Amino acid sequence: MATRRSREAGISILGWAVEEGGTRAEHDPLLNPDRIFDLVPPEPRRALVLALLSRPGVTLGPSLTRRPEVVAAISAIPGVGEVRFSPIGGTVGPGGPGWVSILFAVHLPPGQPRPLDQVLNLVRSWLMDRLGGIDLQRGRVVGAWCPGFSDLAVAGRKLVGVGFKLRRDEVLARAVICVRAPTAEELETLSSCHLAFGEGVAATSLTSLAEALGRPGLTREASLQLLGIPAPPAGMILG
């Protein structure tokens, strides 16, 4: 697949050369970790960025897919939508028209210390560069979806969740971004998914691109434009 070079490619985001690969459906078999790195030049500090779109539902990470009783409980929640599985770390990643995911496939220099911190800094800087100077703060947000050290928040409220898969000197990082605030029904469903294995989700712990940017009515397609990612092909099958 030919990739469209971004404005930073060959320049620098924290010393990384970044190429953009457009938009894909989350179920695309090319996103298998054994295949996606064929798209990235095997050189240190190179990264490929892809936008992922999905139908309404949730994507479960390895820590939950190893627990069949949790998968069964989440799959049985009314209104949960599609239940998908990902090799990338995390618990419950929301999907559907109120969310967009950005996948980073990164080649690290051999023996790089604290590789996940380095990739998280790359993801944070890439997003901040495109979001009009919004200050994304790192750190776990209690009461958010899939809370963890790699949460990115605005004024203490989670906007982005980042999960990782580390493989030798390669990292896949998936950034899940809330485009608009979940409806009361969506929030209840998302919280029920988390209650299947831990604490629920609170609206006060979340924010969205629409809120942070002061753009009511922001859509997933418009958020891709903000991020400088080409619009998906017409009629793209998402699931």
Say which CATH number the domain at 117 has: 3.30.930.10
Q: Is residue 238 part of a domain?
A: no
* pLDDT tens-place string over residues 175-217: 999 999 999 999 999 999 999 999 999 999 999 999 999 999 9
Q: Is residue 228 part of a domain?
A: no
Burial class (CB in 10 A: 0-12, 13-18, 19+), 222: middle
Q: Is residue 231 part of a domain?
A: no
215 against 3, higher pLDDT = 215
d(CA 205, CA 15): 33
Given a contact cutoff of 8 angstroms between Cβ atoms, the answer to whether 218 and 108 are in contact is: no
For the chain, how many structural domains are there in total? Answer: 1
Token pair for 230? 């080409």
What is the structure's pLDDT at 236? Answer: 53
Q: Is residue 77 part of a domain?
A: yes
* pLDDT tens-place string over residues 84-96: 998 899 999 999 9
pLDDT at 235 over 60: no
* pLDDT tens-place string over residues 44-64: 888 888 888 888 999 999 999
* pLDDT tens-place string over residues 124-171: 999 999 998 799 999 999 999 999 999 999 999 999 999 999 988 889
Q: Is residue 237 part of a domain?
A: no
Q: Is residue 63 part of a domain?
A: yes
Residue 167: other Cβ atoms inside 10 A = 11
What domain range is 180 assigned to?
4-223
Q: Is residue 230 part of a domain?
A: no
Q: Is residue 233 part of a domain?
A: no
* 3-class secondary-structure state, position 59: strand
Residue 101: other Cβ atoms inside 10 A = 23
